[in-house]
A = this chain, B = another copy of it.
Amino acid sequence: MMKLVQGGVTAPIGYFATGIACGLKKDNQLDLSIVCSEDMAVAAGVFTQNTVKGHSLQLTMKNIKNGYANALVINSGNANACNGSEGYEDACEIAETVAQMMDLEPEDILVGSTGVIGKPLDMDKIRPGLDELISNMNPEGGHEAALAIMTTDTFAKEISLQTQINGKTVTIGGMAKGSGMIHPNMATLIGVITTDANISKSVLQKVLSSCTEKTFNRTSVDGDTSVCDMVISLANGMAENEKIDENSKAYDEFYQAYLHVCTELAKMIAKDGEGATKLIEVRVNGAKSSEDAKKAAFAIAKSPLVKTAMFGQDANWGRIITALGYSGADFDPNKTDIHIGDLLVCKSGEAVAFDETHALEILKSDEILLSVKLNEGKFGDRVWTCDFSFDYVKINASYRS
């Protein structure tokens, strides 16, 4: 039994957070955040697979190795990537400063950065900002933290819920930032998932990795992938449940709740893709292999022609079958059926006469389902994406200015 609750990353017991404006962004927008656990927490992470890796992310990959962390500091407005040795030193200074102020070890502080690449962090703004962060963090600060990690996001992405595990209430809270550069096979974003569950670091890592594969790694906004993306999860055990074993009913219950948190965050990320006006879910069924299903779903979800047609509310399914054709999936086009919403538009690879008025009704919605049956086998996959609008171009044509 899952129950949605308020609070985001501070919903679980023993977490403090906040977000402040230290001046990295214009107009006094929040740009520096902290999430901190009262007790030492076990920590798990998934990280970008981009060959280029941001300096803050590199420090976090190092500090998380021992499997424990106390706090995570994230700045937005500047990616801290490609800044030479200075970039890594800046990340270290943030960890050391926070550790010193809170009487913790620097290796238990994780650091994240998101924004423009190749611009050194303005440490003269961040240093006093860290002071303010630590003074202001509080057990209801989840929302401010979620606001402070946003870049071109138009709304804060957070969710928190409770589930019962062996008679104890366990809470999971999550926040994420997404918008541009969202793409599979990466951590795809910056995400933070906190819980008061009592769970080992290896089991937490297993849950995070599995849920990431099914959710964050099934979103695509523009096919680009960032150098700073990561999802970090902390679990401080303060719910005092019996430790969650890998093969147990408790594990299944925790997993389902955790998956729900990741699913909702992933859908919010796709829905808030840069310039997006619609959330698009692409479902492929009947593939010969899971790899074929994944290739087919991603080819459709990534196609700029499909995405512009969705923006234009145009039931141009020819672009869907075209994307299938170059996806690399093994299938016979003469067996393919395509639905837009509940409307059959292509049967056995051939055009079906359909009611354009009905099609328009479906395409006017802000959530659209594109489903493909390959009728070749029993494998399926599902990917979330968004439409491609004028505003995507507008946002990205002048991102640095």
List residues of A whose CB falls within 8 A of some B CB.
Answer: 49-53, 79, 81-84, 116-120, 180-181, 183, 186, 222-227, 302-305, 308-309, 311-312, 314-319, 321-326, 329, 331, 333, 346, 349-351, 388-390, 392-394, 396-401
Contact = CB atoms under 8 A, between A and B. Distances in A.
Contact of A308 (B308, B325, B396, B401): B396
A346 B227 CA distance: 16
Contacts of A117: 316-319, 321-322
Contacts of A180: 305
Contacts of A183: 326
A337 to B, nearest CB: 12
Given A117-B316, A308-B397, A311-B397, 9 more contacts: A81-B318, A118-B317, A119-B351, A181-B322, A223-B302, A223-B303, A224-B319, A314-B397, A315-B400
Nearest to A350: B84
Contacts of A351: 82-84, 118-120
Interface of A is mostly: loop
Which of the listed residues A305, A322, A351, A388 has the most CB atoms from chain B within 10 Å of its own CB? A322
B225 A326 contact: yes
Contacts of A52: 321-322, 324-325, 333, 349
B79 A318 contact: yes
B118 A396 contact: no
Contact of A324 (B49, B51, B119, B318): B51
Contact of A393 (B308, B314, B346): B308
A365 to B, nearest CB: 16
A349 B393 contact: no
